[in-house]
Amino acid sequence: MNCLLLEPGEWDPATGRARLAGRRCQHAREILRAQVGDRLRVGLVGGRMGQGRIVALDEALLELELAFDAEPPPKRPVELVLALPRMPVFRRLLSTAASLGVERILVVATARTEKSFWQSHDVAPDAIRERLLLGLEQARDTILPEVSLHRHFGSLVGEILPPRLAGRRAIVAHPAAASPCPHRVSGPITLFVGPEGGLLEDEIERLAAIGFEPVHLGARILRVEPVIPLLFGRLLD
């Protein structure tokens, strides 16, 4: 945790103070080994960032005096369309995507997406939000990416994606693509990352028909989890 995030209802703007228990209190004591008087980097979920001076700390409670005086870092202009992966990967990728500064995540079904994955508790809004917050705490950001779930590939490609792609470069990672992935693309990007096992040729054709460029990442077939930061490092400045 490189930044302690508070929900708007967790501090009192009149006194400038917040009293926190649980995970954040424990983290301050055990991981940061913080003491009364120390200053921690803090952020208000959906709002500003700043510093919190510790005015009290014991096993059960962390009390902070807060000053919010800075803006969170700008989001990266990236919308990620992600085939729902298996749950351990999904949990980690939500945090990673939030830490990378993704604006929006569309979680989608493809032909090779396991249907049973949609039944997991990990795709519930609260579970997703928790994983995103971990990524924001890591990256020192306060703004949650928007996340939406799309269980029908047909309506995603037919109705939802086309109006969103105006003015954006749309790229789909596909090992059999003819072109390599470009470096340093300017302007907003929509990235489609398919499932382990890949997209079907028919799915690639439907994405190409609405403007997605299929690109490859070399001869090596990579897992979804490293592909997302790899594309970020490559495409963004």
Check binding of 230 to its own copies (CB under 8 A). yes
> Cα 118 from chain centroid?
19
Query: How far is the first Cα of the chain from the last one, in angstroms, to the nearest whole number?
Result: 25
Taking the least distance from each CB to its own copies, the nearer of 65 and 114 is 114
Q: Which of 8, 73, 158, 162 binds its own copies (CB under 8 A)?
A: 73
Interface segment toward its own copies; rule CB under 8 A; list 4-12, 46-54, 96-104, 187-195 = 96-104
Check binding of 232 to its own copies (CB under 8 A). yes
The residue among 115, 114, 136 whose CA lies nearest residue 44 is 136
Q: Which of 60, 61, 124, 221 binds its own copies (CB under 8 A)?
A: 221
One-letter identity of residue 17: R
The answer to whether 170 and 81 are in contact (CB under 8 A) is no
Nearest approach in angstroms of CB 184 to its own copies is 6
In the block, which residue shows the tokens 């990620």? 80
Check binding of 113 to its own copies (CB under 8 A). no
Total chain residues near its own copies (CB under 8 A): 32
- What is the C-alpha to C-alpha distance for residues 133 and 227, in angstroms, rounded to an integer? 22
One-letter identity of residue 227: V
Check binding of 224 to its own copies (CB under 8 A). no
- What is the C-alpha to C-alpha distance for residues 76 and 95, in angstroms, rounded to an integer? 15
Check binding of 148 to its own copies (CB under 8 A). no
Binding mask 191-220 for its own copies (x = CB under 8 A): --------------------------xxxx
Burial (CB count within 10 angstroms: exposed 0-12, middle 13-18, buried 19+), residue 186:
exposed
Residue numbers of the site for its own copies (CB under 8 A)? 2, 73, 92, 96, 99-101, 138-141, 181, 183-184, 217-223, 225-235
